[in-house]
Every structure is written in structure tokens, then in C-alpha cells.
């Protein structure tokens, strides 16, 4: 399935962390390669990214509490974990915004974002174009937006795409909500009714090559028995990520060597609990 032409898939997921350096060390231990620290212009935040060929994960932390960080501060007061999902436009950000407006949706004005990274060869400044998505258009997802990469060559360095644990991309995000029925109409409008499927009380939204799986906490635990969700999670909440791997045995060996505890599901999926990954359950899925 493909999403409407203005949305190509999920671009990245933002994982809010209280101590950015400790998070960098923790995710390195999990077997990921992280980019150097990037400092956002005009905001008191910095990040490390885990890059894949078509999407990425962003570890986001506060480095200046007095500089435009109210939303992140409020989130971290409750918990660490996956906070936002950003969508990738199929073309330019401007075209995506126009198409969304034409379909009666409520995108924000285009905003510019830069961050500065210090590389061995000198400073680099990746640039992005962002379009905020209204809460009414993306229920169940906090502060979602469309992210267009204006300098992709700065982030897709081959050495940053090679992860010791064998992860090679994002496949799905798992979102807990109080109920799924109330979400369906909005996602039918955003992505098209043919891209939204339901099974009992679980709703799956197909966004390009990715999926957003909405479920209640009880249904999530039914689908994943024995997998613990943080007790302080306020709904709605992104609680888990499916990550693609090429070789399950390779990934399992990597986790064992690094003394990362994990479970193996009947279908071969490897699961790392949220306590090992700043509040995010990681599902390593072969294929």
C-alpha cells in the first residue's frame, strides 16, 4: 500500500531523554551507530540520530532549559520515551502543504530548522523544512509534523548507516490510546480509507512502507504477553518501535555480547524492554 502522494512514509521518531550523553552511551551499547551531537538553532535542545537509509531515530535532550523547551520539559517531567512521529513528504514541503490544504486539512505554515554538528572535517549544518500537523488531523499522535530534508547528503554518511546490531530501518510504531474507533475518520481523511485497517479494537494505518499500530493498553498486552509497558505512561503514547533486521541470529549475538537482556517471540522477533532504551520497547523484526 502507498500513502497519498504528499506523504511518503515516516521520516523519523523523536525519543525524549533526560540525559543526552547517557542516552548516547546506552543506545551505542544496544548496537546502534549514532551521529555526533547536533545543536538546534533557536532552541535549547540537542540530539544524536540513528540513521537508516530512508528513516531514522532521534534522541532529543535539553541543553539549555531557558531556551524554548517548554513542551519537551513537560513531557520529560512525566517520562522518557518516544514523543513525536515525523512524516516524510514525497516531494517538497511546499507541495505537501498545498496538497493537505486542498483536502481540507490544517497544516501549519512552513518553518525552517537548522542544527549544527561538529565533524572531524569541520562544522556541518543540516537544514530542514517543517510543517506542523493539527491534533485533529493526527489524533493519538502528539505534535506530529512533516519533515523535508534540505541537505540529505549531510546525514546519510555510509559510516552512520552501519549498525553493529544489524538494524536497517524503521517498520512500525506502536501507539497506545484509550480507544481506536474515534481515530479512524481522521486517518481516513489524512491517508485514504484504503490505508486504514481494523481488527477488533486494533487500528493499523499504512504510511508508505511503515505502519502505525494503534491499540488500547489491554489489547497491546494481549498481542504481546509478557512485555511490560511503563506504569507512568499517559495516553496517548508511542510505546514501541519495530526495527527491521536482516539476520536475527546476528542481532541476537550482538545483544548477548553486549549483555543486553532480550526476549524472543514465537515468530522470531527479538524484544528489548523499555527499561533498556529510554522508555521505548524495541522489536527487532527479520525480513
Supply the pLDDT for residue 257.
98
Sign of CA dihedral 1, 227, 270, 86: positive
pLDDT of residue 210: 97
pLDDT of residue 1: 46
Residues 178 and 136 in one domain: no
Q: Domain for residue 98, yes or no?
A: yes
Residue 1 placed within a domain: no
Residue 167 near residue 284 (C-beta atoms within 8 A): yes
Q: What is the pLDDT, as a whole number, of residue 231? A: 78
67 plus 151 within the same structural domain: yes
Considering the domain architecture, whether residues 51 and 132 belong to the same structural domain is answered as yes
Question: Which range marks the domain in which residue 31 is found?
Answer: 7-160
Which DSSP symbol is given to 32? -
The CATH number that applies at residue 68 is 3.10.180.10
Residue 230 is predicted with a pLDDT of: 81
**258, part of any domain:** yes
CA distance 245 to 7: 24
Q: How far apart are CA 258 and CA 129, in angstroms?
A: 38
Residues 18 and 150 in one domain: yes
Give the pTM: 0.96
pLDDT value of position 170: 98
Residue 120 has a pLDDT of 85
Among candidate residues 126, 145, 160, the one where a domain is terminated:
160
Q: Could you tell me if 176 and 251 lie in one domain?
A: yes
Return the H-helix or E-strand segment holding 237. strand 237-245
Query: What is the DSSP annotation of 222-258?
Result: HHSTT----TTPPSSEEEEEEEEES-HHHHHHHHHHT
Residue 175 and residue 156 share a domain: no
Q: Which of 134, 160, 186 is the last residue of a domain?
A: 160
Contact of 158 with 33, CB cutoff 8 Å = no
Are 227 and 245 in contact by the 8 Å Cβ rule? The answer is no
Q: Give the number of C-alpha atoms closer than 13 A to the C-alpha of residue 89, restricted to the C-beta side.
A: 25
Query: In terms of domains, do 35 and 136 share one?
Result: yes
Verify that 13 and 130 share a domain, yes or no: yes
87 shares a domain with 120: yes
Q: Which pLDDT score is estimated for 5?
A: 60
Q: Which of 160, 178, 196 is the last residue of a domain?
A: 160
Regarding whether 127 and 184 lie in a shared domain, the answer is: no
Per the domain annotation, does 2 fall within a domain? no
Based on the structure, what is the number of domains in the chain?
2
Q: What is the pLDDT of residue 4?
A: 57
**Residue 25 sits in the same domain as residue 129:** yes
Query: What does each of the 287 residues of the chain score in pLDDT, given as a tens digit?
Result: 445 568 999 999 999 999 999 999 999 999 999 999 999 999 999 999 999 999 999 999 999 998 889 999 999 999 999 999 999 999 999 999 999 999 899 999 999 999 999 998 999 999 999 999 999 999 999 999 999 999 999 999 999 999 999 999 999 999 999 999 999 999 999 999 999 999 877 999 999 999 999 999 999 999 999 898 887 899 999 999 999 999 999 999 999 999 999 999 999 999 999 999 999 999 999 97
| Cβ(216)–Cβ(163) below 8 Å | no
Are 142 and 216 contained in the same domain? no
Amino acid at each position: 500500500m502507498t500513502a497519498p502522494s504528499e506523504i511518503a512514509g515516516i521520516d523519523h521518531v523523536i525519543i525524549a531523554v533526560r540525559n543526552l550523553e547517557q542516552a548516547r552511551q546506552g543506545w551505542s551499547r544496544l548496537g546502534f551507530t549514532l551521529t555526533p551531537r547536533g545543536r538546534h538553532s533557536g532552541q535549547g535542545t540537542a540530539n544524536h540520530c540513528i540513521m537508516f537509509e530512508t528513516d531514522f531515530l532521534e534522541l532529543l535532550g535539553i541543553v539549555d532549559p531557558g531556551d524554548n523547551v517548554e513542551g519537551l520539559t513537560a513531557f520529560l517531567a512525566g517520562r522518557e520515551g518516544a514523543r513525536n512521529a515525523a512524516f516524510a513528504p514525497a516531494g517538497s514541503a511546499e507541495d505537501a502543504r498545498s496538497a493537505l490544504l486542498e483536502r481540507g486539512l490544517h497544516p501549519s505554515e512552513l518553518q525552517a530548522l537548522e542544527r549544527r554538528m561538529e565533524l572531524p572535517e569541520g562544522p556541518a549544518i543540516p537544514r530542514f523544512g517543517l510543517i506542523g500537523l493539527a491534533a485533529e488531523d493526527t489524533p493519538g499522535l502528539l505534535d506530529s509534523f512533516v519533515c523535508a530534508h534540505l541537505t540529505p547528503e549531510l546525514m546519510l554518511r555510509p559510516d552512520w548507516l552501519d549498525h553493529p546490531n544489524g538494524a536497517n530501518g524503521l517498520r512500525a510504531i506502536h501507539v497506545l490510546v484509550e480507544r481506536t474507533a474515534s481515530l479512524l475518520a481522521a486517518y481516513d481523511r489524512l491517508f485514504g480509507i484504503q490505508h486504514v485497517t481494523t481488527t477488533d479494537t486494533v487500528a493499523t494505518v499504512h504510511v508508505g512502507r511503515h505502519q502505525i499500530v494503534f491499540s488500547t493498553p489491554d489489547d497491546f498486552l494481549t498481542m504481546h504477553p509478557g512485555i511490560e509497558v511503563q506504569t507512568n505512561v499517559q495516553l496517548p503514547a508511542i510505546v514501541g518501535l519495530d526495527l527491521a533486521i536482516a539476520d536475527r541470529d546476528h542481532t541476537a549475538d550482538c545483544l548477548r555480547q553486549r549483555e543486553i537482556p532480550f526476549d524472543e517471540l514465537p515468530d522470531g522477533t527479538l524484544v528489548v524492554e523499555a527499561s533498556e532504551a529510554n522508555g521505548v520497547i524495541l522489536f527487532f523484526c527479520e525480513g
